[in-house]
Copies of this chain bind each other. A is one copy, B any other.
Amino acid sequence: MMRGKGIVNRLAAIAAALLVAGPLHAEDGYALWLRHAPPEGEGRSRLARLGGLIVANNPDHPTVALAMRELDDGLAQLRGGAAAADGAATGIRFDCHDPAVARGGAFRVMADKASLRIAAGEPVGCLYAAYAILRELGQGVDPAKLALDEAPAMPLRMLNHWDNPDGHVERGYSGRSIFDWWHLPEKLGPRMIDYARANASLGINAVVVNNVNARAFMLEPRYIAKLARLADAWRPYGIRVFLSARFSAPKDIGGLATADPLDPQVQAWWRAKADEIYAAIPDFGGFLVKANSEGQPGPQDYGRTHADGANMLAAALGMRGTVIWRAFVYQAEDTTDRTMQAYAEFQPLDGQFADNVIVQIKNGPLDFQPREPFHPLFGAMPKTRLMLETQITREYLGQATGIAYLAPLWKEVLDADTGRGGPKPKTVAQIVSPVGMAGVANTGSDRNWTGTHFDQANWYAFGRLAWNPSLTSEDIAREWTAQTFTRDTETVRRIAAMMLGSRDLVAQYTAPLGLAHLMGTGHHYGPSPWVCDLERPDWNPCYYHRADKDGIGFDRTAKGSGALAQYAPSIAAQWADAATIDEKYLLWFHRVRWDHRIKGGDTLWERLAAEYAWAEIGLRGRIQSWEGLRPHIDAERHAAIAADMARELKDARWWRDASMAYWQSVNGLPLPAGARPIPESLEAYRARTFPEAPGQ
């Protein structure tokens, strides 16, 4: 027989071993930021007393019960599996119907040495509070000093899934769809719960489950049954389901001859369809619609406006739900600067949309490029409910290769002053806060959910910014890192620094100085600035860079397309002069000569070459820095991320070499002094094909 102490040590070792475990149980990333790894030292002993007895005034409410269980489980994990110390344990009390707290997810947390009290206006606030407490403790906050008073900035915090019912994810780079439609409603995979939990931990409260390029059959009864099973499973997590609806559904599956929104039969069909959905899902959120865009059907097919189409669907939903209508439109026959078309179509409709219609606008006027100025519709439709659409999946920023932390991109837009909105101009965040924010999801069947470990941070950052757009990118990076990797302060600082600069590096080697849309056709990966023969002008990289022997860039000033005039005068003025514009937007708004001298004295050509070189230096430095973190990161994730970084460096060199070879073929200039030679010919770069590139 062993002595008690020996057994204690041995069992403690088991517990530790099971947490890190063998090759099949390594840190695979599945737990996301909800790892709840126990702190060391003082932090651990402070936690030992917390969580003895958890009570609530209505513990049987599903969401309250969930909040209690999540907090209990999370605290147990933070304590390393140990039970809270008996006797002196801190009591925890939930009051989830406190009239002093707002509804809609707001909560307060008050602690002292003897108790932890959580108050919310409705149960979902208690759930958010539970996750917020764990987030704070996960970062090392003293439990006795917890003091939170939060309310979500935006009512709709929504993921848009571009997931097709056959499991393919359009622009998805992390495996197949997480939705197993084929086996619903009989089988609801555990991942559907883990997904809801991850979303709820961030305050995400709405999910559009299918691609905006929608299939009509998802409105059929067999799919409503599947959707109802999901809605039931997610309801306790405070998540409402929405569907992308195909505008031509009355024809596709309804047997009607038309989908004209002014046709009474069409209106009746949608009304009956909405009734059918609400009978199965009483809290169904509504429809997201991509209409008359990239081949999708819409009201313009019948000579009607976007407002006609949206309002017809809104009437079918009535007060029960919302129509979210996308402003991402551009026409094949329209020769206007593509970045101007959404404004031209939608701005005149301001004031014509029904109360339960939201117009959803991408962050920039083109299409989720590594950098764009904010969309000029923000501020230009004061009588319309506007929602911001961001892309979490990195369609144009390396996909699931390398690292691009997107919070800085989204913050640029949220913090942008529109120059409009009355006497006191409003930021984009102020404009969309009464409505909401959507993110195109980056989730997939990969074990770590998002393809790379760092892409989890983008899901996290989206949720946090939708909850509170005034958080800084650095705050979010630090809290994510502490929960995901380690609480070690210096390591957190260094990882956050890598994250903060990562998107600028991607922009620097794929779209320097305000260039855009230079990527490969179809798959949108890697460089193809030479492409100029696609059917539609605005599908071609050459349409955007306009490089020739004299210069490069898209003139969007009054002398050019005039797109600048879609912005408020005070904003347009900042960008109107190539000599004073922030260089990150230089070639977005201006066409300049290769020998144009920019700030610092370099010619544009020299500076362009330098941008690529700086990106390469930055990536090499990051690789070194990551190598230095090896002792602080588990081996599995350290190796995976090191491989991601090596691949990104290879790709950045490819972008630089191929792009520079092409620019040289256009401008005939020699490489600037000191520039690295280009190893292959332009023809060789042009000849590279990738028929198997993911995500097409």
- A residues apposed to B, CB below 8 Å: 2, 4-5, 7-8, 10-15, 17-19, 22-26, 28, 30-31, 34, 73, 76-77, 80-83, 86, 164-167, 175-176, 181-183, 186-191, 193-194, 197, 215, 217, 400-401, 445-447, 636, 640, 643-644, 646-647, 650, 691-694, 696
A420 to chain B, nearest CB (A): 43
A103 to chain B, nearest CB (A): 27
Assess whether B191 is in contact with A447, with CB atoms less than 8 Å apart.
Answer: yes
How far does the alpha carbon of A194 sit from the alpha carbon of B26 in the complex, in Å? Answer: 11
* Residues in B neighbouring A11, C-beta threshold 8 A: 7-8, 11-12, 14-15
Assess whether A73 is in contact with B22, with CB atoms less than 8 Å apart.
Answer: yes
Assess whether A692 is in contact with B82, with CB atoms less than 8 Å apart.
Answer: no
Assess whether A189 is in contact with B4, with CB atoms less than 8 Å apart.
Answer: no
Assess whether B693 is in contact with A187, with CB atoms less than 8 Å apart.
Answer: no
A263 to chain B, nearest CB (A): 26
Give 18 A-B pairs besides A186-B650, A187-B647 with Cβ atoms closer than 8 angstroms.
Answer: A10-B82, A14-B15, A15-B15, A17-B81, A18-B81, A22-B77, A23-B193, A24-B34, A24-B194, A26-B190, A164-B692, A181-B692, A183-B643, A183-B647, A187-B643, A189-B640, A215-B691, A445-B447
Assess whether B4 is in contact with A445, with CB atoms less than 8 Å apart.
Answer: no
* Residues in B neighbouring A26, C-beta threshold 8 A: 190
In the complex, the chain B residue whose C-beta lies closest to that of A1 is: B85
Assess whether A14 is in contact with B80, with CB atoms less than 8 Å apart.
Answer: yes
* Residues in B neighbouring A176, C-beta threshold 8 A: 175-176, 445
In the complex, the chain B residue whose C-beta lies closest to that of A198 is: B24
A70 to chain B, nearest CB (A): 9
How far does the alpha carbon of A177 sit from the alpha carbon of B292 in the complex, in Å? Answer: 35
Assess whether A190 is in contact with B691, with CB atoms less than 8 Å apart.
Answer: no
How far does the alpha carbon of A164 sit from the alpha carbon of B197 in the complex, in Å? Answer: 33
How far does the alpha carbon of A25 sit from the alpha carbon of B81 in the complex, in Å? Answer: 13
16 pairs, CB–CB < 8 Å, chain A vs chain B: A2-B86, A4-B4, A11-B11, A11-B15, A13-B82, A14-B15, A14-B18, A14-B81, A23-B197, A24-B194, A24-B197, A166-B694, A176-B176, A182-B401, A187-B646, A189-B640
Assess whether A644 is in contact with B187, with CB atoms less than 8 Å apart.
Answer: yes
How far does the alpha carbon of A696 sit from the alpha carbon of B167 in the complex, in Å? Answer: 12
Assess whether B82 is in contact with A14, with CB atoms less than 8 Å apart.
Answer: yes
Assess whether A187 is in contact with B640, with CB atoms less than 8 Å apart.
Answer: yes
Assess whether B175 is in contact with A445, with CB atoms less than 8 Å apart.
Answer: yes
A694 to chain B, nearest CB (A): 5
How far does the alpha carbon of A192 sit from the alpha carbon of B437 in the complex, in Å? Answer: 38
A62 to chain B, nearest CB (A): 15
* Residues in B neighbouring A12, C-beta threshold 8 A: 11
Copies of the chain in the assembly: 2
How far does the alpha carbon of A691 sit from the alpha carbon of B181 in the complex, in Å? Answer: 12
- Give the interface centre of A12, A17, A189, A692 by most chain B CB atoms within 10 Å: A692
How far does the alpha carbon of A365 sit from the alpha carbon of B81 in the complex, in Å? Answer: 57
In the complex, the chain B residue whose C-beta lies closest to that of A646 is: B186
* Residues in B neighbouring A167, C-beta threshold 8 A: 175, 694
How far does the alpha carbon of A196 sit from the alpha carbon of B300 in the complex, in Å? Answer: 55
Assess whether A190 is in contact with B28, with CB atoms less than 8 Å apart.
Answer: yes
Taking a contact as CB atoms closer than 8 A, the residue among B17, B34, B197, B401 that contacts A183 in the complex is: B401
A362 to chain B, nearest CB (A): 26
Assess whether A643 is in contact with B165, with CB atoms less than 8 Å apart.
Answer: no
* Residues in B neighbouring A10, C-beta threshold 8 A: 82-83
How far does the alpha carbon of A374 sit from the alpha carbon of B413 in the complex, in Å? Answer: 66
A492 to chain B, nearest CB (A): 22
A125 to chain B, nearest CB (A): 21
Assess whether B692 is in contact with A182, with CB atoms less than 8 Å apart.
Answer: yes
* Residues in B neighbouring A2, C-beta threshold 8 A: 86
In the complex, the chain B residue whose C-beta lies closest to that of A696 is: B166
* Residues in B neighbouring A696, C-beta threshold 8 A: 166
In the complex, the chain B residue whose C-beta lies closest to that of A649 is: B186
* Residues in B neighbouring A166, C-beta threshold 8 A: 691-694, 696
* Residues in B neighbouring A447, C-beta threshold 8 A: 30, 191, 445, 447
A311 to chain B, nearest CB (A): 30
- Give the interface centre of A5, A26, A81 by most chain B CB atoms within 10 Å: A81
* Residues in B neighbouring A8, C-beta threshold 8 A: 4, 7-8, 11
- Give the interface centre of A24, A31, A81 by most chain B CB atoms within 10 Å: A24
* Residues in B neighbouring A636, C-beta threshold 8 A: 190
Assess whether A194 is in contact with B23, with CB atoms less than 8 Å apart.
Answer: yes
How far does the alpha carbon of A650 sit from the alpha carbon of B18 in the complex, in Å? Answer: 39
In the complex, the chain B residue whose C-beta lies closest to that of A4 is: B4
In the complex, the chain B residue whose C-beta lies closest to that of A651 is: B186
The 3 closest A-B pairs by CB, nearest first: A4-B4, A11-B11, A14-B81
**Known contacts A445-B175, A447-B191, A646-B186, A691 near B23 by CB under 8 Å:** no
In the complex, the chain B residue whose C-beta lies closest to that of A31 is: B24
How far does the alpha carbon of A188 sit from the alpha carbon of B445 in the complex, in Å? Answer: 17
* Residues in B neighbouring A30, C-beta threshold 8 A: 24, 447
In the complex, the chain B residue whose C-beta lies closest to that of A38 is: B14
A30 to chain B, nearest CB (A): 6
* Residues in B neighbouring A164, C-beta threshold 8 A: 692
How far does the alpha carbon of A8 sit from the alpha carbon of B1 in the complex, in Å? Answer: 14
How far does the alpha carbon of A215 sit from the alpha carbon of B689 in the complex, in Å? Answer: 13
In the complex, the chain B residue whose C-beta lies closest to that of A167 is: B694
In the complex, the chain B residue whose C-beta lies closest to that of A83 is: B10
* Residues in B neighbouring A191, C-beta threshold 8 A: 447
How far does the alpha carbon of A334 sit from the alpha carbon of B73 in the complex, in Å? Answer: 66
A383 to chain B, nearest CB (A): 40
- Give the interface centre of A175, A181, A197 by most chain B CB atoms within 10 Å: A175
* Residues in B neighbouring A83, C-beta threshold 8 A: 10
A278 to chain B, nearest CB (A): 24
* Residues in B neighbouring A188, C-beta threshold 8 A: 643
* Residues in B neighbouring A194, C-beta threshold 8 A: 23-24
In the complex, the chain B residue whose C-beta lies closest to that of A691 is: B217
* Residues in B neighbouring A400, C-beta threshold 8 A: 183
In the complex, the chain B residue whose C-beta lies closest to that of A166 is: B692
* Residues in B neighbouring A19, C-beta threshold 8 A: 18
A348 to chain B, nearest CB (A): 38
In the complex, the chain B residue whose C-beta lies closest to that of A689 is: B217
Assess whether A165 is in contact with B647, with CB atoms less than 8 Å apart.
Answer: no
A180 to chain B, nearest CB (A): 9
- Give the interface centre of A26, A77, A190, A193 by most chain B CB atoms within 10 Å: A190
